[in-house]
Structure 1
Amino acid sequence: MNGSPKMLDDFLKYYATVLRYMDDFISEPISRYHMTFDAFLIMHEIGTSTKPILLMDIADSHHVSRSAISRQISTLLKYDYVYQVANPADRRQKSLLLTEKGQATDKQLIQDIQLVFDQWIDQLGRDRIKTMLTFFDDFTHQVIASKSKD
């Protein structure tokens, strides 16, 4: 056993409070637009992509199934945030693009989330936020990515 029982108890306590708090503050503005945080991330990824992006590209980058991404994209299509353009060479491949409404929504949500993030930087300091982001990056590459290779 690498960790002490207290370390595990602390992890469980912080997981239940900190991550839920973060999720609530980030998800609240997003839910006003009838989407989940995952759908917002997909919409933002589509909007910031410099090349045509396909559903399978998004599934790969999020380490989830195509059907999971398809469900999120269905919501984005329903509320007219994205549209699809078929590849003339292979009509099964459809690039995803933001509508004008999707672009405006993404811009507004980024502004709303930036305000919350800026408050955290003011309260905790830039260096502590950078340390937290480094930890999240390490966790993603060393734990999550290794699990998806299994």
Structure 2
Amino acid sequence: MNGSPAMLNDFLKYYSTVLRYMDNYISEPINRYHMTFDAFLILHEIGASTKPILLMDIADSHHVSRSAISRQISTLLKYDYVYQVANPADRRQKSLLLTEKGQATDKQLIHDISLIFNQWIDQLGANRIQAMLTFFSDFTQQVIEPQQK
């Protein structure tokens, strides 16, 4: 066994505390707009895309089913954050675009989340935040992505 029982206990304690804290602080401004964090990520991805983006493109990039993305998009449609444009060559394919309300919401949420993130940088220092991000990247590449193949 590679880790000690104490290491596992520390992991469980910090996993619960830190991730709940991060989730609560990041989700709080998002919840005001009747969205989940996942819906916000989709909203932001649609807004950041330089080309028309399809539901299946989003599902692929998030490594989830089309139905899971469809549920999130239905919320974004309901609150008028996105709209769909049918492909004239294949009307089953619909590009997703942000409405003006969606653009303003994305901009406001990025601002709000940036304030929170910048507080963490001020408290912990840029080097420690970068080390955390590097760890998350390594974890994604070495643990998550191999399991998805």
Q: TM-score when scaled to structure 1? A: 0.97
Distance 1:9 1:51 in 2: 46
State the identity as a percent.
85
1:42 aligns to 2:70 (yes or no): no
Query: Which deviates the most, 29-38 or 3-12?
Result: 3-12
Distance 2:69 2:25 in 1: 23
For residue 91 of structure 1, give the secondary structure of its aligned residue in structure 2. Answer: coil
Listed as ranges, the gaps of 5+ residues in structure 2 are none
Distance 2:74 2:144 in 1: 26
Distance 2:143 2:90 in 1: 36
Distance 1:144 1:99 in 2: 33
Q: Which residue of 2 aligns with 1:129?
A: 129
> How far off is 1:141 after superposition?
1.3
Listed as ranges, the gaps of 5+ residues in structure 1 are none
For residue 85 of structure 2, give the secondary structure of its aligned residue in structure 1. Answer: strand
Q: Which residue of 2 aligns with 1:138?
A: 138
Distance 1:140 1:50 in 2: 25
Question: 5 Å matches for 1:77-92?
Answer: 77-92=77-92
Q: Deviations over 1:20-43 (max 9, x none)?
A: 000000000000000000000000
Stretches of 4+ moved more than 4 A in 1?
A: none
For residue 90 of structure 1, give the secondary structure of its aligned residue in structure 2. Answer: coil
Q: TM-score when scaled to structure 2? A: 0.98
Question: 5 Å matches for 1:1-150?
Answer: 1-149=1-149
Q: Deviations over 1:86-129 (max 9, x none)?
A: 11111111110000000000000000000000000000000100
> How far off is 1:7 after superposition?
1.1
> How far off is 1:12 after superposition?
0.5
Which amino acid in 1 is paired with 2:127? D
